[in-house]
Amino acid sequence: MSEYSEYGFGTPDASHMHRHFMPCVLEFAQPLRPGLRVLDVGCGNGYLCGKFLELGASVVGVDLSVEGIQLARGKYPGARFELIGADEDILGKLNEDPFDLVVSTEVVEHLYRPRLWANACFAALKPGGRFICTTPYHGYWKNLVISLLGRWDAHANPLWDGGHIKLWSKRTLSELLVETGFRDLKIKGVGRMPGLRMTMVASGEKPA
């Protein structure tokens, strides 16, 4: 996490992906009781944090994007936003107790060291807490279609600074989360038809 390229957040509005994964993220987060303590790791411009605020949660968002944190602080003053990356001392840096719910959307595909991210999210949860993450889906049929259409240069353009550097399937994402210690895993594909899903939403619990 020593080098970061600004993602280019221009507004505090939803990205094109939020409408696909948001309903499933909120479904997996149930029951959403008032006062639920939520940490968003890689919160970007804070849009998802704002949705949890609307539902009565107490929200903290962290990100390495100066632009994103500035936008989030301006739009959602009811939440706390800090310029912090994902490492296992995240609670110490925040001076916060473990959280009830940790979310991290469309982040892990950008990381050189996904185990560091997964361990940080695990460490930030209280025992019995829930973790929810999303990442673009890559399985056999989708990869085959991209190959047959000759779309890899556009789909995973290597000229995008800070772009996607790791492509995840349900199997590889499950392996990462189980290895980290999460249990009761659920993974749901969203957007487009089965086999060609845009992204997937994963949920797991930290053992009590």
> What pLDDT, on the 0 to 100 scale, is given for residue 159?
86
Of the pLDDT bands very low, low, confident and very high (cuts 50, 70, 90), residue 1 is very low
Among 44-53, 150-159, 179-188, the minimum mean pLDDT is found in 150-159
Q: Is the pTM of this model over 0.85?
A: yes
On average, the pLDDT of the chain sits at: 93
Greatest mean pLDDT among 5-14, 16-25, 198-207 lies in: 198-207
Of the pLDDT bands very low, low, confident and very high (cuts 50, 70, 90), residue 5 is low
On the question of pLDDT at 6 being above 80, the answer is no
Sheet bearing 199-205, strands edge to edge:
80-83, 58-63, 37-41, 99-105, 125-136, 199-205, 183-190
Note the pLDDT tens digit of each residue in 23-75: 999 999 999 999 999 999 999 999 999 999 999 999 999 999 999 999 999 99
Note the pLDDT tens digit of each residue in 188-197: 999 988 999 9
> What pLDDT, on the 0 to 100 scale, is given for residue 40?
98
Class of domain 18-205: alpha beta
34 and 68 Cβ atoms separated by less than 8 Å: no
What percent of the chain stands above pLDDT 70? 98
Note the pLDDT tens digit of each residue in 112-135: 999 999 999 999 999 999 999 999
First to last CA, the chain: 30
- In the chain, domain spans: 18-205
Mean pLDDT along residues 101-108: 97
Residue reference for tokens 């889906």: 137
On the question of pLDDT at 16 being above 90, the answer is no
Query: Who contacts 104 (Cβ-Cβ below 8 Å, separation ≥6)?
Result: 40, 41, 42, 86, 117, 121, 131, 132, 133, 134
